[in-house]
């Protein structure tokens, strides 16, 4: 762990303090912007889900809609899948996440530990101009939070929510094929 010191022992205290102030403002601004990006993504995912809700059944692709709604909006829920009460934390990728972040914008470590799951947001989650992708990433990852690791289920669910809300869905053909989802119990909307 690196420790940064804003003390100067060479008589340039004023310059060092200016540098430190600029450095801390930059770091705080970057962290604040990433937190705002995550909160905006959650808000937009909630808006999309709520727009779809009147068109959704009580259960869709083996995901209980009421449980999913609690997880998405409250970040806590009672889980039949995991057994018991589960809370969700959202974190920025840290040490040890490099491998998972290489291929994903976000991921959830499963199963829950002590009644908690962590949704980790990778650096590419904050890519400028990727608002729709962030919103769908949250919708997709929350399926893992509620119903486990099945990628095909998560893709099918996200596509159905998007279609129910907007009348169309984002194509995921390459990812669908890469996960051999044609052979799964799930399907994309037609």
Q: What is the pTM of this model?
A: 0.80
Map residue 33 onto helix, strand or coil.
Answer: helix
What's the pLDDT tens digit per position in 97-108? 778 888 889 999
For residue 161, give both structure tokens.
């929510």
What's the pLDDT tens digit per position in 6-19? 444 555 555 544 44
Nearest one of 100, 71, 96, 97 to 86, comparing CA atoms: 71
For residue 184, give both structure tokens.
């799964």
Q: Are 126 and 104 in contact (CB under 8 A)?
A: no
What pLDDT sits at residue 20?
37
- Residue 131 pLDDT level (bands cut at 50, 70, 90): confident
Nearest one of 94, 99, 18, 68 to 26, comparing CA atoms: 18
What pLDDT sits at residue 149?
96
Q: Is pLDDT larger for residue 29 or for residue 61?
A: 61
């Amino acid at each position: 762990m690196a420790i940064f010191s804003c003390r100067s022992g060479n008589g340039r205290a004023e310059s060092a303090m200016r540098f430190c102030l600029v450095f801390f403002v930059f770091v705080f601004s970057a962290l604040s912007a990433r937190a705002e990006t995550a909160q905006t993504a959650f808000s937009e995912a909630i808006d999309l889900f709520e727009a779809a809700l009147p068109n959704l059944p009580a259960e869709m692709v083996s995901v209980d809609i009421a449980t999913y709604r609690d997880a998405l909006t409250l970040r806590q829920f009672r889980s039949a899948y995991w057994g018991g009460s589960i809370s969700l934390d959202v974190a920025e990728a840290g040490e040890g996440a490099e491998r998972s972040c290489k291929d994903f914008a976000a991921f959830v470590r499963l199963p829950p530990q002590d009644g908690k799951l962590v949704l980790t947001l990778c650096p590419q989650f904050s890519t400028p101009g990727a608002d729709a992708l962030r919103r769908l990433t949250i919708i997709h990852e929350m399926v893992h939070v509620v119903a486990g690791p099945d990628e095909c289920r998560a893709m099918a669910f996200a596509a159905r929510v998007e279609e129910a809300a907007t009348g169309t869905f984002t194509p995921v053909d390459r990812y669908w094929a890469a996960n051999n989802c044609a052979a799964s119990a799930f399907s994309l909307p037609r």
